[in-house]
Amino acid sequence: EDQVTQSPEALRLQEGESSSLNCSYTVSGLRGLFWYRQDPGKGPEFLFTLYSAGEEKEKERLKATLTKKESFLHITAPKPEDSATYLCAVQAGRGNNNDMRFGAGTRLTVKP
Amino acid sequence: NAGVTQTPKFQVLKTGQSMTLQCAQDMNHNSMYWYRQDPGMGLRLIYYSASEGTTDKGEVPNGYNVSRLNKREFSLRLESAAPSQTSVYFCASRPHTGDYGYTFGSGTRLTVV
């Protein structure tokens, strides 16, 4: 069965303190790994899709990387507005491409 | 603004009552989804519709039914609500099945007492 585990569950950073969030996955034939940002009381917002090991994507202070077993979301010099829950999801390459499994998320708090 | 619209935003039901959650998207997306989100468990797929006229079960379909009314609208029905269905429900869409990320609605917070 496909599994996605995110760590840590919660992370508190000072403004400017860089760090990384981890997403470990087990899937039969990875078709894509997705990162989302979710603010309190809102739906998740799509950030990136990664397709193969070694791939990297960047958006402002965020950079996502992918290996065969895990993905990292690196946050460089975070600001308070980066505070949110970050969700990781994997999609298997089998079947009809609707097997997207989400992790429980990492709740990031950035203090000024 | 273009996107996914869900109604209602909040709802309280008594055990055994029924209700329908509405979802509409105006992005001409083919695929639509219903997820529930519970603390510590992540998003879990209830039902999805890969294209107009088709629906399929996801990971947790028991106690729910869906209708893909047309390309824009995808509704979720609880026939006899149970406390275990207390959750936040999200509708999502994407152009078609495959590699695209979802566009999510803002959610419906449902409490069953």
Which CATH number goes with the domain that contains A25? 2.60.40.10
**What residues contact residue B91 under an 8 Å CB cut-off, 6+ apart?**
B4, B6, B21, B23, B25, B32, B33, B34, B35, B74, B76, B104, B105
Count CA atoms closer than 13 A to A69's CA, side-chain side. Answer: 0
Chain B contact residues (CB < 8 Å to A): 4, 31, 33, 35, 40-45, 48, 50, 56, 58, 90, 92, 97-107
Q: Measured between CB atoms, does A8 come within 8 Å of chain B?
A: no
Q: Which of A36, A42, A105 sits opposite B106 (nearest CB)?
A: A42
- Tally of structural domains, chain A: 1
Please provide the average confidence, as pLDDT, over all residues in chain B.
93
Chain A's closest residue to B38, CA to CA, is A104
Q: Using the predicted structure, report yes or no on whether residue B99 has a pLDDT greater than 70.
A: no
Cβ atoms of B49 and A96 within 8 Å: the answer is no
Q: What is the pLDDT of residues A41-77, one digit of tens each?
A: 999 999 999 999 999 999 999 999 999 999 999 999 9
**Structural domain containing residue A97:** 3-111
